Every structure is written in structure tokens, then in C-alpha cells.
Amino acid sequence: MIRMSDPDATEPDLESQHSAVPDGGASSEVRLVHAARLGDQQAFQQLVLRYERRVFQVIHRFVTDQGTVADLAQDAFLRAWERLSQFDTSRRFGPWLFRLAVNLTYDHLRKVRRKGRWSLFSELSETVEPDPGQADPRDEMDLSQEVRLVLAEVPEAYRVVLVLRDLEGFCTSDVAAITDRSEATIRWRLAEARRMFRDAWERRQRKHEGGSEAVDGILTGEADV
């Protein structure tokens, strides 16, 4: 019923996605959701096509394994299909879908931790110091890996806001809808998350010198991570 396609491409964020087609975008989505709630699988498939790449991309911010990301994305759409009757049609479908995806992703990460595996984001633990007689393997990390390691130091409730707002470019109202928090709470958590990220980034850079100037681009979503 649900067919997932190539996740490599990117889509505009929810705000621009809806504003790009003022007459047909949001209104056509409402019609698709209504039809899907009545059991129209083709209508739901159109919703999948609209959002699948972006859902994959968001999950991939938290999970590195491509196969696991694909499974979680598939599960998110299956859960959306199963719970469409619970969806409040006075709200927008996109944030509700992303809330399902983010919740599934964090459920997965908690299960991984409970099984005794390290790491939200990487095989390399910050708590393990490199042998001074050997080259620091972190020197060869690309920016994306560095960002993942530093993000792992930001508490979960703040990390998800930072990822959605600064790395994925969702507007504040969308982040609030996805996380089920007020916009005021999101703005506060974002400020705290940026501070935590900056502090962790600078601590890490002091340990192996250089690169601290990249943090501003990361926090505003300008760096390619």
C-alpha cells in the first residue's frame, strides 16, 4: 500500500512547501487527508509522495544507518495510516506526521541504549580519550560527524528543537506543532540548545584545536551538514 521512493533528494521545509502553492497546496492536502480518512489508499499515497523524502531526511539527522532510517520512515507512514481517524483535521497534516516520525525515532534510540549499545549518533564516544601516541581519529572526521558527536551532548528535549529548527529549517510554529509545545517554549529551548551546542563544540575543539569558527554556520543552518 505504501511505496517509498528514493530518499536522497530534498524537499522544501513545511512553511515554504505550503506557501509555494497558495491556491492548491494546502487545500489539496486537506482533500487528500479527507479522502484518506475515508479509506482512499491512492489519496494517502499522494501524501506519502509529498513527505517521504523530508521524513527520511529528518530521521537521518538522528540515525546514521540508512536501512534503519528507511524502516523508521516506513513505520511512520504506516502509523499515520493506522491513526488517521485520530488526526485533528483542524490542524495541518505535516507537523502531525513529523511528530509521529520523531517519536518513533526516539523510541528506537531508547531501545538501542537499553540494549547496552552506546551512542545516539556515532561509533566514537567522547568519553574515550585517544592514545597520545597515535593520531587522533577525530582529526579525519568530516563536519557532519563532528556535529553528530556534539549534538549527542545536548539533552534530548533541546536537541530535537535544535535539529528541527537550525539544521532542518522548520519554522518555529512547525517545531512547536511537531513537539507539542508552545512557541514560547520552543524559542526558549532553542536559545538554550544553541548555547549548549556552542559550549560543547568549543570544549571539543579546544581538545584538538581549530574549527570553532564553523559553529555559527551550523547553528543557523548555513553549513552543509
| Residue whose C-alpha cell is 547553528 | 219
Instruction: Supply the pLDDT for residue 98.
Output: 97
Can you tell me the distance from the alpha carbon of 50 to that of 30, in angstroms, rounded to the nearest whole number? 13
Answer whether 72's CB lies under 8 Å from 100's CB.
no
DSSP string, 7-72: -SS----HHHHHHSSTTTHHHHHHHHHHHHHTT-HHHHHHHHHHHHHHHHHHHHTT---HHHHHHH
Global confidence as pTM: 0.74
Q: Which fold would CATH assign to domain 136-225?
A: Arc Repressor Mutant, subunit A (1.10.10)
pLDDT tens, residue order, the chain (225 aa):
455 444 444 344 454 444 333 335 677 999 999 999 999 999 999 999 999 999 999 999 999 899 999 999 999 999 999 999 999 998 999 999 999 999 999 999 988 887 765 444 444 444 444 444 554 444 445 777 888 889 989 999 999 999 999 999 999 999 999 999 999 999 999 999 999 999 999 988 887 665 555 566 666 666 566
Residue ranges per domain, the chain? 1-120, 136-225
Helix, strand, coil content of the chain in percent (nearest 5): 65, 0, 35
Topology agreement, domain 1-120 and domain 136-225? no
Q: 1-120 belongs to which CATH class?
A: mainly alpha
Q: Residue 105: enclosing H or E segment and its boundaries?
A: helix 93-114
Beta carbons within 8 Å of 45's beta carbon, 6+ residues apart:
1, 2, 3
Q: How much is the pLDDT for 217?
A: 65
pLDDT at 184: 97
pLDDT for res 204: 84
